[in-house]
Structure 1
Amino acid sequence: MSVECTADREPLVSIIVPVYNSERYLPTLLDSLLSQTYHNLEVICINDGSKDSSLQILNDRSSQDARVVVVDKENSGAAATRNVGLDRATGEFLCFVDSDDYVMPTAIERLVGIAVEHYADAVIFDMDNFDDATGETSPTNAVVKEFVPSRTVFQLKDIPNFYKRIVGFTVNKLYRSSYLKEMHLRFPQLGAHEDMPFTYVALSAARTLYYLDETLYYYRRSREGSLSDGTNDDYRFMVNALESFRLELVHYDLWDACKRDFINYALHMCHWKYTVLSRRYRWAFGGDCRRNIFKQFDITDYDQSYFYDSDDYSFFMRAAYPSLSYRIASSGMYFVQKAVRAFE
């Protein structure tokens, strides 16, 4: 049964905001949320043991606007903090916002209207980067537009290589709360890449999805004291997130429907991780892929026809069979030569 959205019946929206040492940015973020053209909000701000004046700012705003709900707790990281917000959320819809970002004033109104009209379990929307140092904005490419239909309902099965086409950001989705509560879905506490399992499992379980190709959110870059981690060169966090993602798909009986997309995504993430690792870590990662990681995620069980992206498959061939790839590359086969160049 659809929820009606009229002037006198606005469904409650829970906005979950994890906060850590954000005193410089919190006023801007809170202004952007409390000035939304959509008014029936609860802004659940969870202070994750901040050492600056963030908690005082939150308490001051809460005393001025009852829609601001403040939860104070010891530091435990972004995943645990968002889970506290999920436990406290009472809205018919929910979304996540980071404490150093800001949201367009019509964002919630647009998203709820779409979710109600199309009875979408999740609405995906565009977000741009905002460079804190220069003030310039740039696209995040959170959605690969040529593969994802805009302004119409769809499901995961409608988009081959789904997980590569829609980036697993936490903050550019609005969810219908009821189906997430039925699942009791939570962020795994992994230390990094914790958005991945939650976001993709939530989208995989959604009966209907909708993509609104409008920029409604600005993600602040180059900020001091952010919740971002320093784990870029430790690929184990990514591997653990992929394993958590797979286990959740199995747990929620989504594996059969999502298996091919997951295996392709696991290969893509290995390829991506190799490109962003510093040179000193690449050799170890390539060897670990060959010995363990490709087998762990069933990548070695399939031939080239199973994979959507030739670049990702070329990476797999070079990493899994380095000696063979070298001999084939010497004979002039283009797809392996391309992979060899990626490893140089």
Structure 2
Amino acid sequence: MGVGQLFRTDFVREKGYLFQEQRTSNDLLFVFSAITDAKRITILDEILVHQRRDVSSSLSVTREKSWDCFYYALIVLREHLQRMGSFERFERDYIDYALHFSLWNINSIKGFAYEKLYNKLKSEWFKDWALSGLMPNALNLKVSISNTAI
């Protein structure tokens, strides 16, 4: 997520943005806070960085060890949006992203971590994000994880 963005140093210092101290998804709060707090965003049509992919030691391919970090990142982001008074403005975006990121996470891990994540999403986290009340009517889709409807 953070690889595709470039931020002005004075903006980051002024706002006091920091990365979360957790193993994975630690850039989510930084990036989304900066984007939602920005008064303007400039898009450059230039390649400024190259990202390595499929590195076996990468944290992104060993997320079974930190299967719940994305949840804590999303919770802190919601708290930031509420504190800044912008949650209502971004609520739908937040819910859409929470659902998308949840499904991406569960579809990209295996084993015991998959089971733990599946159970947490179904029994607690979708309710916490108010997703269970939105599905399938407001989102107008059928959410399924490995062919098992939630």
Tell me the TM-score range normalised by the shorter chain.
0.7 to 0.9
Residues 201-225 of structure 1: CA deviation (Å, up to 9, x unaligned): 1011111113233332111235586
Aligned with residue 302 of structure 1, among 124, 129, 134: 134
1:314 equivalent among 130, 142, 150: 142
Task: Please report the TM-score for the alignment, with normalisation by the length of structure 2.
Answer: 0.80
The residue number in structure 1 matching 2:26 is 194
RMSD: 2.7
1:278 is displaced (CA, Å) by 0.7
Shift of 1:301: 3.4
2:40 corresponds in structure 1 to 208
| Greater share of helix | 2
One-letter amino acid matched to 2:23: G
Distance 1:199 1:188 in 2: 11
Return the offset for 1:294: 0.5
Aligned length: 148
1:5-47 CA-to-partner distances (Å, cap 9, x unmatched) read xxxxxxxxxxxxxxxxxxxxxxxxxxxxxxxxxxxxxxxxxxx
1:342 aligns with 2:147: yes
- Identical aligned residues as a percent: 21
Which residue does the alignment assign to 1:284?
116
Q: Give, as a single letter, the amino acid of the residue that structure 2 aligns with 1:174.
A: L
Q: Which has the larger radius of gyration?
A: 1
**Which string of whole-angstrom CA distances, capped at 9 and with x for unpartnered residues, describes residues 267-303 of structure 1?**
1111111111114433332222121010111212335
**Equivalent position amino acid for 1:252 in 2:** M
Q: What is the aligned partner in structure 2 of residue 232 from structure 1?
A: 63
Aligned equivalents of 2:105, 2:24: Cα separation in 1? 13
Whichever residue aligns with residue 172 of structure 1, its letter is G
Q: Tell me how far apart the structure 2 counterparts of residues 282 and 225 of structure 1 sit (CA, whole Å).
A: 20
Contact 2:107–2:145, Cα closer than 8 Å, also in 1: no
1: CA distance, partners of 2:22 / 2:106: 20
Q: 1:238, CA displacement in angstroms? A: 1.4
Task: Report the residue type matching 1:292 in the other structure.
Answer: E
Is the Cα contact below 8 Å between 1:170 and 1:199 reproduced in 2?
yes
CA shift in 2, pair 1:219/1:287, >3 Å? same
Q: Offset at 1:245?
A: 1.5
Counterpart CA distance in 2 for 1:224 and 1:283 is 23
2:128 and 2:88 map into 1 onto residues whose CA distance is 17
Contact 2:22–2:69, Cα closer than 8 Å, also in 1: yes
Shift of 1:260: 1.0
Distance 2:124 2:39 in 1: 35
Q: Which position in structure 2 is the counterpart of 1:258?
A: 90
Q: 5+ unaligned residues in a row in structure 1: which ranges?
A: 1-168, 316-338
The AA in structure 1 aligned to 2:126 is F
1:262 Cα deviation (Å)?
0.5
Match of 2:14 among 178, 182, 207: 182
- The answer to which structure, 1 or 2, has the higher relative contact order (CA under 8 A, 6+ apart) is 2
Name stretches of at least 5 consecutive residues in structure 2 with no aligned partner: none
Runs (4+) of structure 1 exceeding 6 A deviation are none
- Mapped partners of 2:49, 2:75: distance in 1: 30
